């Protein structure tokens, strides 16, 4: 249900069939080395120059063309995709989704009990709580991504080189 919303938010899928096939092929190879090789995996290149990658429950992995441009080689891109596969195999996205449902229920309850502005504040705090993965979840996804990269024959050191590039880009 979320896939069309993601496409709309990021300018659609990038219209380059060769690049899409390449990213899908790399993603499928990495996914086959994961703990969920029989899951259906969907890898989509988004038409956005923003440097971003993320995963949704059910094996949906997204990378933007901006992220692909920042990656120097296949191993760096494999590190990012492996990391996102790690979020799915560890069920981090599903955990966040469950937390967001609880947050929504809490916001409704706050609205009933507190009314108005207090409910808006409670809802905002709850959404900030589930807005990103925890440091523990990020570390776990990194470890899993490194495992998948190594199993697929890529140099795991490429993940740290890409993270340095990402930090430098962020500083700009």
For residues 6 and 52, is the Cβ–Cβ distance under 8 A? no
Q: In what order do the strands lie in the sheet with 53-56?
A: 42-46, 60-64, 53-56
For residues 95 and 64, is the Cβ–Cβ distance under 8 A? no
What is the rounded CA–CA span in Å between residue 41 and residue 69? 23
Q: Which of 35, 76, 142, 167 is catalytic?
A: 142
Q: Which of 16, 38, 84, 155 is catalytic?
A: 84
Q: Is 136 a catalytic residue?
A: no
What is the rounded CA–CA span in Å between residue 106 and residue 87? 25
| Pair type for strands 42-46 and 53-56 | unpaired
* Cβ atoms within 10 Å, residue 33: 16
Burial class (CB in 10 A: 0-12, 13-18, 19+), 101: exposed
What is the rounded CA–CA span in Å between residue 144 and residue 149? 9
Q: Is 15 a catalytic residue?
A: no
The residues that are catalytic are: 84, 142
């Amino acid at each position: 249900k979320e896939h069309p919303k993601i496409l709309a938010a990021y300018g659609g899928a990038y219209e380059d069939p060769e690049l899409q096939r390449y990213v899908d092929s790399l993603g499928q190879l990495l996914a086959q080395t994961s703990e969920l090789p029989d899951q259906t995996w969907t890898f989509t290149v988004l038409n956005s120059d923003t440097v971003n990658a993320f995963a949704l429950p059910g094996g949906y992995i997204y990378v933007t063309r901006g992220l692909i441009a920042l990656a120097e080689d296949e191993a760096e891109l494999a590190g990012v995709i492996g990391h996102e596969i790690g979020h799915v195999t560890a069920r981090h996205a599903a955990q966040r989704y469950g937390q967001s449902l609880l947050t929504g229920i809490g916001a409704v309850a706050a609205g009933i009990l507190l009314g108005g502005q207090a409910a808006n504040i409670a809802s905002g705090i709850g959404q900030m709580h589930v807005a990103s993965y925890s440091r523990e979840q990020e570390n776990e996804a990194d470890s899993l991504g490194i495992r998948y990269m190594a199993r697929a024959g890529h140099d795991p050191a490429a993940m740290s080189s890409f993270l340095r590039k990402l930090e430098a880009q962020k500083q700009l």
